[in-house]
Amino acid sequence: MTMSGVLRPGHCQLRVLDLEESVNFYTNVFGLVETGRDDTGRVYFKCHDERDHNSFIIRESDRAGMDFYGFKVRDKATLDRLESDLRAYGVSTERIPAGEMLETGERVRFEIPTGHIMELYAEKTAIGDGLGYVNPDVFIENRKGISPIRLDHWQIHGADLDGSRDLFINVLGFSLVEKILGEDGKTDMAVWLTCSTKAHDIAFVRDQRNNTVHHASFLLETWEKVLHAADIMGKYRVSIDNGPLRHGITRGTTIYSFDPSGNRLETFCGGYDFYPDMQPYTWTWDELGSAIFYHTRALNERFLTVVT
């Protein structure tokens, strides 16, 4: 696949209830790398294998949840083209100036039909992964906690799934990878979309609660790392929602847990490669349990209802 448009999930900004408690959690338990703080009180992090300055930003608030989601695009020309395409599609856009976020260039911000705020950007300062660019080592020393290698994807909820799905496919160039049909056998209740060869870069679930997030997902290298993450969660008394388990959808292995503010996080590994010539998989409503948790075929009430 020629990577010429949207490249990948690049950053998101999360609301937390206690900033310093959250900094301790994301640094020492979750194992992200703090890369800076700004005058507004935001704290910036990256994962170990990520080379850009930041991918995960937190700010203190009186309620948990996500402020916005950002995708990195190939270059400035791509950013301009996609903004023009969005406007032609009937979507209003706003330019956020370079520097409003640390080490991040100009961003194009817009709202999608499910009420979520999305951003596109082309430039972010590269600070590397600590291995160097000449004769690099193959592992990073002194990693803390769970230590994911990258921000992988999000699952977000809202009423107009069809509108957001179509915008991502028809304007931003995403491909439909998998979907779950509703009880009527026709309506898309959830869809998994990719802008790369990954099994998904974002998922939408039909839900009357607009502009809500089910989870932010972080990639681990192996199933053994997922099991090690479970050990760390046990040691530090992290609230686990589900797992370790395997998904039917994407075939990935997973643990869902909560940060101290009640934001759900996924530590994820695996998933098959997808290319645009492939036919999407479809799951029927009667196999919903197997689609989400292939081993147990059961969903707890919290997993189905809790969003922020």
Q: What is the pLDDT of residue 82?
A: 97
Domain over 6-121 is classified CATH 3.90.1150.10: no
Span 150-305 CATH architecture: Roll (3.10)
The confidence band for 2, taking pLDDT boundaries of 50, 70 and 90, is: low
Q: Whole-model pTM?
A: 0.95
- For the chain, what is the mean pLDDT? 95
The active-site residue out of 26, 69, 256, 281 is 256
Active site residue 247: yes
Within this chain, domains 6-121 and 150-305 share the same CATH topology: yes
Residue (of 267, 204, 191) closest to 230 by Cα position: 267
Beta bridge partners of 164: none
Question: Is 153 one of the catalytic residues?
Answer: yes
Judge if the upstream peptide bond of residue 244 is cis by omega within 30 degrees of 0: yes
Tokens at 40, concatenated: 């507004």
Active site residue 301: no
Q: Which of 11, 53, 116, 215 is catalytic?
A: 215
Indicate if the pLDDT at residue 3 is higher than 80: no
Q: Single out the catalytic residue among 44, 200, 214, 281.
A: 200
Catalytic residue, from 48, 116, 153, 157: name it: 153
pLDDT tens for each residue of 138-167 = 888 888 999 999 999 999 999 999 999 999
214 catalytic residue (yes or no): no
- Pick the closest to residue 124 from 18, 44, 244 (CA basis): 44
- Catalytic annotation on 200? yes
Question: pLDDT tens-digit profile of 219-275?
Answer: 999 999 999 999 999 999 999 999 899 998 999 999 999 999 999 999 999 989 999
Domain range annotation of the chain: 6-121, 150-305
Tell me the percentage of the chain whose pLDDT exceeds 90: 86
Asked if 77 and 103 touch (Cβ cutoff 8 Å), the reply is no
pLDDT of residue 300: 83
Q: How far apart are the first and last CA of the chain?
A: 35
Cβ atoms 9, 168 nearer than 8 A:
no
Which residue among 53, 116, 214, 247 is the active-site one? 247
Q: Three-class SS string for 232-254?
A: HHHHCCCEEEEEEEECCCCCCEE
